[in-house]
């Protein structure tokens, strides 16, 4: 049960430095299933070598942008980084669902067109 302060079990766990360190090592050192799936998708796409490398570079850039750019910002300009990250998180909270719907619509449209083009005929 939560403490009298209203703190949840997850909030208490997140205050543990040891757990934060272990989770940080695990999440940073091990590739995510999403990243592994993206790399496998790129490998299975039968692209030319240059297109494969370009697609892989974009995938890696997106992964670095989501994780390492905020960490670098916190090291270089901690005061400004904190406010910037908070603003981005607030924007994501307000518009994240719309962005996800738009991305799913785009992916679905792409897959539909690709499937129609690849139909045997």
The number of angstroms, rounded, from the C-alpha of 81 to the middle of its chain's C-alpha atoms is: 18
pLDDT at position 113 is 95
pLDDT above 80: residue 13:
no
pLDDT above 70: residue 4:
no
Band the pLDDT of 34: cuts 50, 70, 90: confident
pLDDT above 70: residue 94:
yes
pLDDT tens track for 56-92: 999 988 888 877 888 889 899 988 998 998 998 899 8
């Amino acid at each position: 049960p939560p403490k009298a302060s209203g703190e949840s079990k997850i909030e208490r766990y997140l205050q543990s430095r040891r757990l934060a360190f272990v989770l940080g090592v695990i999440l940073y050192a091990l590739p995510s299933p999403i990243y592994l799936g993206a790399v496998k998708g790129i490998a299975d796409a039968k692209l030319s070598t240059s297109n494969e490398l370009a697609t892989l570079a974009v995938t890696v850039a997106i992964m670095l942008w989501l994780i390492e750019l905020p960490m670098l910002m916190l090291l270089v300009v901690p005061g400004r980084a904190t406010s910037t990250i908070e603003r981005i998180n607030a924007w994501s909270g307000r518009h994240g669902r719309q962005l996800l719907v738009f991305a799913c619509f785009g992916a679905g449209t792409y897959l539909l067109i690709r499937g129609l083009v690849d139909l045997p005929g």
